Amino acid sequence: MAGAKRDVLLFRFFHFFVPPGWRLPVAVAAGVFFGIGLAVFHVSGGTSYLSANSEACINCHLMSPQFARWSHASHRDRATCIECHLPQQNAAATWMEKANSGLRHMLVYTLRREPFVIRARQASSDNIQANCVRCHKARIDTTHLVTVDGDAVRHGDGRYCWQCHQAVGHGKLNSLASAPVSLLPADYPRVAPWLTELLVRENQAGKVDR
């Protein structure tokens, strides 16, 4: 059959795997498979992970206490989740770590093996420390705290920044229950629906001397 080079390849691929007479059912089945795959991608908020938005982190409700505390802390308008938690020295480092930790989180979450108190792993702490230094370098340069990294901490040559500055990110309360009614920034109606309706009814009825 005539067609673009790519079309012919796909066609031959299909023919290689699928006997005649089976082609329609297989096409349908493949469609089902890819459909579910796309649904999974959509339901998991797959595209959100490609962005830098902090809201992506609360696709999993486990993170809502951290998100809630961060959004009421000093770095709310200054640093998004990934600006602290992912290495920022170059794009490759960022995306590698994003994929690495993201997939690990997904696995833990799906298997329901999340701990009640989520603590940063060593590599993660090192990344966060590097980011503290990255932004605050000018201010800590004179006290040589710029040289404090994970290795230094482990050799007793310093502490992680947040061991003293505890409330800066999302605070010291790390349990899943720490912010039990934390709001997810949904688009909730600001005015009670019955009030909106009531005002519409009053307007229609013709209010007295407004």
Partner 1 sequence: MKPVWQIVGERPWLGWLLFLGTVAAVFAVGVLSASLIERKREGRLAFQQSVEIGDLESDSSVWGRNYPREFETWQKTLDGSFESKHMGSRAIDVLALDPRWVVLWAGYAFSRDYNQARGHMHAVEDVRKTLRTGVPQPGTCWSCKSSDVPRVMNEMGVANFYKAKWEELGPKIKNPIGCLDCHDPKTQDLRISRPALVEAFQERGEDIGKARHQEMRSLVCAQCHVEYYFKGEGKYLTFPWKKGFAAEDMEAYYDEVGHTDFVHALSKAPMLKPQHPDWELFQTGIHAQRGLACADCHMPYEVEGGMKFSSHHVVSPLANIGQTCAVCHRESEDTLRQNVYERQDKLREMLSRAQDALVAAHIEAKAAWDAGATEAEMTPALTAIRHAQWRADFVAASGGAAFHAPVESARLVTSSLDKAAEARLLLARILAAHHVTQPVPLPDLSTKEKAQTFIGFDFAAERAKKEEWTKTVLESWGK
As a whole number of angstroms, the distance between CA 160 and CA 131 comes to: 11
As a whole number of angstroms, the distance between CA 88 and CA 130 comes to: 9
Based on CB atoms, which residue is closest to partner 1, 65 or 150? 65
Piece of 9-17, 49-57, 119-127, 143-151 that binds partner 1 (CB under 8 A): 9-17
Site map 175..194 versus partner 1, x via CB under 8 A: x-xxxxx-xxxx-xxxxx-x
Nearest to 45 by CA among 61, 59, 63, 64: 59
Answer yes or no whether residue 91 interacts with partner 1 by CB under 8 A: no
Shortest distance in whole angstroms from residue 198 CB to partner 1: 6
Q: Please report where in the chains the tokens 């809201």 appear, as a residue.
A: 55
As a whole number of angstroms, the distance between CA 1 and CA 9 comes to: 11
Piece of 53-61, 85-93, 130-138, 149-157 that binds partner 1 (CB under 8 A): 53-61
Nearest to 83 by CA among 56, 46, 61: 56
As a whole number of angstroms, the distance between CA 197 and CA 141 comes to: 60
Based on CB atoms, which residue is closest to partner 1, 50 or 123? 50
Contact residues for partner 1 (CB under 8 A)? 15-19, 22, 32-33, 36-37, 39-40, 43-44, 59-61, 64-65, 69, 72, 109-110, 167, 173, 175, 177-181, 183-186, 188-192, 194-196, 198-199, 201-202, 205, 207-210
